[in-house]
Chain A
Amino acid sequence: DAGVIQSPRHEVTEMGQEVTLRCKPISGHDYLFWYRQTMMRGLELLIYFNNNVPIDDSGMPEDRFSAKMPNASFSTLKIQPSEPRDSAVYFCASSGLRYAAEQYFGPGTRLTVT
């Protein structure tokens, strides 16, 4: 398996623009997670899905952020409109259903909003 795939790897955009980050989880995994990493706040869980259904979105910072999982092999995280404080590395991860299953992380998308 190719592992968790994220695109793009790098994104530079201007404030106010819409940004869409994409993730393909490992085939057969039931859970998909979106995390954000910044120097100030470390790694934060934004939202996660179980069998394509959002379970907990309490980490989503505000209404400008939205996430979807239309099928088992694809998820998007959208920021509209983007702001400079959204600059961070965004990671997608997936895991199986069994107890204490390992989460496999993608390489991340480095977002810079100018």
Chain B
Amino acid sequence: GNSVTQMEGPVTLSEEAFLTINCTYTATGYPSLFWYVQYPGEGLQLLLKATKADDKGSNKGFEATYRKETTSFHLEKGSVQVSDSAVYFCALRTYSGGGADGLTFGKGTHLIIQP
């Protein structure tokens, strides 16, 4: 079956620090990979995605590269801001004969940025 493993937090950083949140996966077939972000009291929002090996997804200064050889999709940002404080979820989606499957999520990483 499918599974996603990501570092669990909380991760606490100072403003302008470099961020890495690790994510590795196992999947049947060739998955698409996603990072979602959840702000307090809200639903999840797509942050970025990649659909094939070596693709780099990017948005709002965040980046992640689809590494098929290491089955990883680590999230990075060069300089975090207080407003980046949220919970970040790595996820994958596979495609079976009936079409697309639902998302399989990691447990989430709570990121806290201190001014």
Report A's interface with B, CB cutoff 8 A: 4, 31, 33, 35, 42-45, 48, 50, 55-56, 59, 91, 93, 95, 97, 99-108
Contacts and interface: CB of A to CB of B under 8 A. Distances in A.
B69 interface: no
Give the interface SS of chain B, mostly helix, strand, loop or mixed: strand
B58 to A, nearest CB: 15
Contacts, number: 59
A100 B105 contact: no
Nearest to B33: A100
Interface extent on B, as a size class?
20 to 34
Interface of B: 32, 36, 41-46, 49, 51, 89, 93, 95, 98-108
A44 B107 CA distance: 10
Given A31-B100, A100-B51, 8 more contacts: A33-B103, A59-B102, A93-B44, A95-B100, A97-B99, A99-B100, A100-B93, A102-B46
A35 B95 CA distance: 18
